[in-house]
Amino acid sequence: MKNKLRTEIFIIQFLFLFVITGSSILLYMVFMPVYYEHVKDKQIIQAYHDIGELDLSSLDEKDYGMFANYENENLSFTIADENMKPVYVSEPNVDKEGSVHRSIKKKLNAFSRDPEIIRNSGKLLETARYRGIIAQDNKDYYVVIKDIAAGRKSITMAEKFYLALFGGLLIPGCISMVFLWKFLLKPLDQIVLAAKNAADGNVCPPLDEEGKYLEFNQLAKSINQISGQLKEQRSQIEEGKRQMLYHNVHKDQMEKRRKQMIANISHELKTPLAVIASQAEMLGYTVEDKEYYVASIQEEVAKMSDMVSRLLDSSVIEHQLERMIQKKVDLREAMDYIILKYEGMVKKKKIYLETFLSENCFVLGDREYIEQCVDNYMTNALEHTAIGGNIRITLKKQKTSIRVSVYNEGRQIPKEDLEHIWNGYYRNKREPRREENGFSHAGLGLYIVQSIVTMHNGTYGLENLPTGVEFWFKLPKYEDR
């Protein structure tokens, strides 16, 4: 079974503190008394030598200061001359002669000119005594130096205190460590969560790379880089899916249009083929009006040739659109060029042309194809506008797009045609057939507009207005990067 990092750290730290603290207390209990006795023995011997340097027959304030320093180290002194008269006694409020009697006179046989420190083993609270005889000016002085019990008692009390302190702080210390490591490892929890999300393919918010600990910052930076790469890859995958979906939809639309065109062309070819067949049959029965029948057959062949040429043109355009190169295009400049190109035709039909062109209208696209869209709108407008009518061309900037529209005065488009007018070769059978170059044809202009605008990621449409029709398309506005 695997443990969490914070649990492992807590256990290791707990054992470490337990061993270190316990070992310290054990070493203290074992070696502190020995060390204390060693230090006190040196103090007692040094005090005895310092007393030998004094003039015991006449002590002054300086000498009393020396005694006071040693007394602060828990030493006490009893000094008497050979007549058992007190020379110095540490306890100021006691009977000095009685103290001399108890400590010196009753134990004269314990004094020596080469004294030793006497301790009674097994009695922890017993004081250490040092009894010596110092000779000065042919006179003996008896000296007793004692390590009072308070020192050894303090050691015992310290041992008990440390043991109680260790036991009392162990549980609160463990609880504190739990919360401390929970706080310190909080960045690691966030990193673990981020790594888990990254493993699951989910993108998480960026981790803080400016934290307190360098190792966590480096790990967070690596996780952020991985997360960024995953986000970029996901974006690329999503973009690939969108492109694939777009191409699939576009392919389906092209296939539908192709089938629709084939059906429309098949329908349109039936009439000229029927005429050709009937005229050819008539040539087999009569020789009269032979030139008429031959001319009629040639006329129908020309119609079929025109129709096939237009179909081929639209197929070429669709193929070229797939390979078009887009760049920044100034639509205002393109519109000025187109208007100048149609100036002669407008004057010929005595049409009143209005233009409303905004400045700085830039798009990303192929200028040749965009101009072809406007050309088709203009051709359509000129064809449906009566002599003396009105045409209005507008170029307008919008929030995210550029809108181009061509309005012509004339008949509105029937409602039943609105959904089909953009399909190639569609014609309302109830409308009269229009003639161009001597024969009728079905139009591909709006179908080509639809193809070009779609490839530019734009939109297109038309509106029936009270006095005419307005055709329009929108292209995304070009933004400088």
Segment (H or E) for 173: helix 150-184
Above 80 in pLDDT, residue 11?
no
Q: Report pLDDT digits (tens) over 301-318.
A: 776 776 666 565 555 555
Percent of the chain scoring above 90 in pLDDT = 17
Q: What are phi and psi of 408, to 5 degrees?
A: -130, 140
Q: What's the DSSP call for residue 112?
A: B
Query: Would you call 388 exposed, middle or buried from its count of C-beta atoms within 10 A (0-12, 13-18, 19+)?
Result: exposed
Same fold, 5-156 and 326-481: no
Q: What are phi and psi of 83, to 5 degrees?
A: -95, 10
The span from the CA of 340 to the CA of 151, in Å, is: 118
Q: Which of 27-41, 164-178, 201-215, 313-327 has the highest mean pLDDT?
A: 27-41
Phi-psi region of 138 (alpha: psi -120 to 50; beta: other; left: phi over 0): left
Query: Which pair of tokens denotes residue 95?
Result: 């009977």
The span from the CA of 157 to the CA of 153, in Å, is: 6
Q: What are phi and psi of 462, to 5 degrees?
A: -150, 160
**In angstroms, how far is CA 471 from the centroid of its own chain?**
47
Residue range 97-118: mean pLDDT, rounded = 87
Residue range 192-220: mean pLDDT, rounded = 65
Q: Report pLDDT digits (tens) over 420-473.
A: 788 765 555 445 444 443 333 335 678 888 888 988 899 999 999 999 999 999
Segment (H or E) for 465: strand 459-465
**In angstroms, how far is CA 14 from the centroid of its own chain?**
37
The span from the CA of 63 to the CA of 55, in Å, is: 9
Least confident segment among 45-54, 94-103, 212-221? 212-221
CATH class of 5-156: alpha beta
Q: Report pLDDT digits (tens) over 146-188.
A: 886 555 555 565 666 666 766 666 677 677 766 766 666 666 6
Q: Please give the pLDDT value at position 294.
A: 73
Percent of the chain scoring above 70 in pLDDT = 64
Confidence of residue 475 (pLDDT cuts 50, 70, 90): very high
Q: Please give the pLDDT value at position 176.
A: 72
Q: Which of 127-131, 146-150, 389-393 has the highest mean pLDDT?
A: 389-393
The span from the CA of 341 to the CA of 371, in Å, is: 11
DSSP of 377-412, one letter per residue?
A: HHHHHHHHSPTT-EEEEEEEE-SSEEEEEEEEESPP
The span from the CA of 311 to the CA of 148, in Å, is: 125
The residues, any chain, with a CB within 8 Å of residue 326's CB and separated by 6 or more, are: 364, 365, 366, 456
Beta bridge partners of 75: 147
3 state DSSP class of 140 = strand
The span from the CA of 439 to the CA of 277, in Å, is: 18
Q: What are phi and psi of 296, to 5 degrees?
A: -65, -40
Above 80 in pLDDT, residue 209?
no
Least confident segment among 112-116, 186-190, 365-369, 435-439? 435-439
Above 60 in pLDDT, residue 81?
yes
The span from the CA of 197 to the CA of 191, in Å, is: 10
Average pLDDT, the chain: 77
Q: Please give the pLDDT value at position 446.
A: 84
Q: Please give the pLDDT value at position 147.
A: 81
Q: Please give the pLDDT value at position 247.
A: 73
Q: Please give the pLDDT value at position 354.
A: 94
Q: Please give the pLDDT value at position 222.
A: 73
Query: Which pair of tokens denotes residue 72?
Result: 């602060």
Confidence of residue 362 (pLDDT cuts 50, 70, 90): very high
Q: Please give the pLDDT value at position 161.
A: 67
Beta bridge partners of 88: 79
Residue range 22-40: mean pLDDT, rounded = 74
HSE-CB at 294 with a 13 A cutoff on CA atoms is 6
Above 70 in pLDDT, residue 117?
yes
Confidence of residue 122 (pLDDT cuts 50, 70, 90): very low
Domain boundaries, the chain: 5-156, 202-242, 326-481
| Helices marked H in 286-404 | 290-321, 331-341, 343-348, 367-384
The span from the CA of 27 to the CA of 23, in Å, is: 6
In CATH terms, the fold of domain 326-481 is Heat Shock Protein 90 (3.30.565)
SS3 per-residue string spanning 51-75:
HHCCCCCCCCHHHHHHHHHHHCCCE
Q: Please give the pLDDT value at position 211.
A: 64
Q: Please give the pLDDT value at position 313.
A: 56
Residue type for 369, please? Answer: Y
Residue range 265-269: mean pLDDT, rounded = 64
Helix 367-384 × helix 331-341 angle, to 10°: 40
Above 70 in pLDDT, residue 398?
yes
The span from the CA of 165 to the CA of 176, in Å, is: 16
Q: Please give the pLDDT value at position 437.
A: 35
Q: Report pLDDT digits (tens) over 422-431.
A: 876 555 544 5
CB 458 within 8 A of CB 475: yes
Q: Please give the pLDDT value at position 233.
A: 74
- The dihedral built from the CA positions of residue 106, 110, 115 and 118, taken in this order, carries a sign that is negative
Query: Which pair of tokens denotes residue 248?
Result: 């699939």
Largest CA distance in the chain: 186
CB 74 within 8 A of CB 148: yes
Q: Which of 443, 395, 448 is nearest to 417 (CA)?
A: 443
